[in-house]
Amino acid sequence: MHPILFRLETPGFLKGILPDHITLYSYGFLIAIGILVSFFFARPRVKKLGIDGDKFSTILIWAILAGFVGGRLFFYFEDWGRYMENPSQMLRITGGGFVFYGSVIFVIPTFFLLLRKYKISVRPFLDVMAFVGPIVQSFGRVGCFLAGCCHGRVCHNSLGVTFTDEKSMATPLNVPLYPTQLFDILINVIILITLFLIEKKQKFSGQLMLIYLMMYAVGRSINEEFRGDEARGFLFDGWLSHSQFIAIILFALSVLVWMKWRNLPEDKLWK
């Protein structure tokens, strides 16, 4: 596809300060667009919760940083030996990717800490973030598709997509692969539609976030069966990928939290 959107030569007066060429990568660009879209989507919703723009911006910035660190750290864990042999590779921001569940595991505690600091009710806020997650991730998966990362295994039917760009992260090139990035977008779109349909009928605050986590856990586990990027790591002699293992844990935790929150008074946690 198109891992690089454009590459320009750095103006003469900036050479020595910036690299010789300025490169805009499709993955990073799409993630940025996803964050902007989700911000403008969520801002009026959090305003109804009494959260002003400054507080929401602060929370979002810290969440983005936590997501970056968590996603990147879990990416390193998938091939830890390689990065221990050459730790300098960890400093290459553009050389590699992110693990979605790593971001989730870091972002949710960050939300809890900041919401407690600002004395903001956790569960209604998480319900808003239940929409933000699929929006950002859908844009991110478009970036993955353009970059060729998170690709599927070799496909022998009409669903296959062939990656030809030499800079693409998809392997092998010039062979039809399952477009697992597009499958993931479909999963997130289905989740978004479900959330919109349930929103006005939800039984308790926080329910939308739990539905999002459970639905994505199921969808991601199925999609993993079509993935072809073996470096993402496996457990139990290849029976489960890292993401499937985390999905099972998050699904189980979501069920337990559901059982607790459905009987919890609306003014609890933290207000």
> What pLDDT shows up at residue 239?
80
Tokens of residue 227, six digits:
């993935």
Considering only residues 18 and 247, tell me which one the structure prediction assigns the higher pLDDT: 247
CB 146 within 8 A of CB 30: yes
Mean residue pLDDT of the chain comes to 86
pTM recorded for the entire structure: 0.86
pLDDT tens for residues 108-137? 899 999 998 888 889 999 999 999 999 999
pLDDT interval class at 85 (50, 70, 90): low
Break the chain into its structural domains and give their ranges: 4-261
Taking 80 as the threshold, does the pLDDT of residue 96 lie above it? no
Half-sphere exposure of 10 (CA within 13 A, CB side): 12
pLDDT interval class at 27 (50, 70, 90): confident
Alpha-carbon span 190 to 200, nearest angstrom: 17
Tokens of residue 198, six digits:
């349930």
Alpha-carbon span 264 to 3, nearest angstrom: 47
pLDDT interval class at 90 (50, 70, 90): very low
Tokens of residue 11, six digits:
């103006």
Taking 50 as the threshold, does the pLDDT of residue 95 lie above it? no
pLDDT tens for residues 152-176? 999 999 999 999 988 888 989 999 9
Taking 80 as the threshold, does the pLDDT of residue 19 lie above it? no
Please state which of the ranges 20-24, 84-88, 186-190, 191-195 shows the lowest mean pLDDT.
Answer: 84-88
130 backbone dihedrals φ, ψ, rounded to 5°? -65, -30
Taking 80 as the threshold, does the pLDDT of residue 45 lie above it? yes
Which of 68, 60, 62 lies closest to 97 in space, CA to CA? 68
> What pLDDT shows up at residue 249?
94
> What pLDDT shows up at residue 9?
75
In one-letter notation, the amino acid at residue 261 is: W
> What pLDDT shows up at residue 166?
87
Taking 90 as the threshold, does the pLDDT of residue 206 lie above it? yes
Taking 50 as the threshold, does the pLDDT of residue 193 lie above it? yes
